[in-house]
Amino acid sequence: MRRRNSPASLDESHGADRPSTSPPGTSGKQLKASAPTHLPPLLTSRSGKRPATVLYPTGRSSVSVTLLRRITPKKALVGGALAAAATGMVFAAAPAQAAPASDSAKAVAQRVIGDAGQFQCFDKIVSHESGWNVTATNSSSGAYGLVQALPGSKMASAGADWKTNAETQIKWGHSYMNERYGSPCAAWNHWQANGWY
- Reply yes or no on whether the pLDDT at 187 is more than 70: yes
Local confidence band at 155 (pLDDT 50, 70, 90 cut-offs): very high
Q: Which whole-number Å values give the CA distances from 158 to 13, 79, 120, 167, 174, in the listed order?
A: 64, 53, 22, 9, 11
- Reply yes or no on whether the pLDDT at 9 is more than 80: no
This prediction has a pTM of 0.50
What percent of the chain lies above the pLDDT cut of 70?
A: 48
At 92-107, the pLDDT tens digits run 444 444 445 566 999 9
